[in-house]
Homo-oligomer: A and B are copies of this chain.
C-alpha cells in the first residue's frame, strides 16, 4: 500500500507525474483512504513498472494505456511500429545535423572571404602610402598599445606562429630602442 509520494519516490518519478497518469486514466489508484488520499496497491505498482518500461521505449501514454488494457496480441505490432518511427526520427535528426554542419561551414567560408588575410592588409596599407619602414612602425605602435590584440590580429590573418613571434619580437626590440635602452 502506497500513497502518491511514496510510489513516486519508489519509481524515481515526481508526484505530479502520477497525478497526471491518474487524470488520463493510465494508472488509477485502487482505492482512496478516509482522508481521500490515493491508495496504490502492489498491483498498481506492477502496472506502473510496465508503464515505465514502455515509456523508456518512447511510447505515448495513450498507446501504453490501450496496450495494458487490451489483450497483448497487438503489443508486438505496436513495438515494431515504434521501431520504425524511431528510425524515422533518428533520420530527421541526422538531417538536422547535416544542415547545422552546412551552416557552420558556410559561415566559416563567409568569414574567410569577408575577413582579411595578410596579402589584403599589406595591399591596403601600401595603397595608403606606407612603405616597409612605416609598416614596421605600425606593428611597433600596435604592439606597444595593445600587445595581446596585436597577437590575436596576426593570428587571425592565418600567419604561422613562428612568423607571428618574429614580427612581435622585432616590434618589441624597436620599442626598447625607442626608449633608449
Contacts of A72 in B (CB 8 A): 107
Of A76-84, A124-132, A151-159, the segment with at least 4 beta carbons within 8 Å of chain B is A76-84
Whether A31 sits at the interface, judged by CB under 8 Å, is: no
Interface string of A42-82 (1 = CB under 8 A from B): 00000000000110111000000000000010011001101
Contacts of A83 in B (CB 8 A): 97, 100-101, 104
Contacts of A112 in B (CB 8 A): none
Contacts of A57 in B (CB 8 A): 96, 99-100, 103
Supply 19 further A-B pairs (C-beta < 8 A) apart from A58-B100, A76-B108, A90-B97.
A53-B99, A54-B103, A56-B96, A57-B96, A57-B99, A72-B107, A75-B107, A76-B104, A76-B107, A80-B104, A82-B96, A82-B100, A83-B97, A83-B100, A83-B101, A86-B96, A86-B97, A89-B93, A90-B90
